[in-house]
Structure 1
Amino acid sequence: MKDKLEQLFYFGLGSALMAKEKLEQAGESAKGLKEENERKAREFFDQAVAKGSEERGRLKEEVKQLLKEAIDELGLASKADLDALREELARQRQGQS
């Protein structure tokens, strides 16, 4: 009977230690997964920001081109046209003086 109780005690102790080791291993594994997931999330974020920045530049140029076409179609004066007109008026005023 004493041997059976002793074996039962060692069985309980051994089981508890094995469970502790398994939990520690699982904790280390989870920590590694967490670090890997954080790294992947950072990479994804950086890639998304870079892609968004590239797209912003492309869209900006596309909008500029569309505005230029609309201004041309409507026959509106551009900044260059207005500057040339101002220079012409200034020359005419100087000639009258």
Structure 2
Amino acid sequence: MKEKLEQLFYFGLGTALMAKEKIDQAGESAKGMKEENERKAREFFDQAVAKGSEERGQLKESVRELLKEVMDELGLATKADLDALREELAKQRQGQP
């Protein structure tokens, strides 16, 4: 009987230690998965930021072209047109006494 109780005690102790090892292994595995998920999340974030930045440039250029078309359709003067007009007026004023 004493031998059976001793075996039962060692069985319980061994089972507890094996369970602890499995839990430790699972924890290490989870830690590795967490680090991998964080790396993937950072990578996705960086890619999204780069794509957004690229799209921003394309969108800005599209808006610029659209505004230029609208200004041409409406016959509005551009900054270059106004600068040329100012130069012409300045030249005319210099020629007059």
For the superposition of Structure 1 and Structure 2, which TM-score range results when normalised by the shorter chain?
Answer: over 0.9
Whether 1:81 and 2:81 are equivalent positions in the alignment is yes
In 1, Cα distance between the equivalents of 2:89 and 2:4? Answer: 115
Q: Residues 39-50 of structure 1: matches in 2 within 5 Å?
A: 39-50=39-50
Q: Which consecutive segments of 4 or more residues in structure 1 shift more than 2 A? A: none
SS in 1 for 2:87: helix
In 2, Cα distance between the equivalents of 1:48 and 1:96? Answer: 61
Structure 2: state its 5+ residue gaps.
Answer: none
Percent identical: 86
Give the letter for the 1:25 counterpart. Q
In 2, Cα distance between the equivalents of 1:81 and 1:4? Answer: 104
SS in 2 for 1:17: helix
In 1, Cα distance between the equivalents of 2:44 and 2:38? Answer: 10
Whether 1:92 and 2:64 are equivalent positions in the alignment is no
Q: CA RMSD in A?
A: 0.5
Structure 1: state its 5+ residue gaps.
Answer: none
TM-score under structure 2 normalisation?
A: 0.98
Q: Residues 1-97 of structure 1: matches in 2 within 5 Å?
A: 1-97=1-97
When the two structures are aligned, how many residues end up with a matched partner? 97
Kindly state the Cα deviation for residue 67 of structure 1 after the two structures are TM-superposed: 0.2
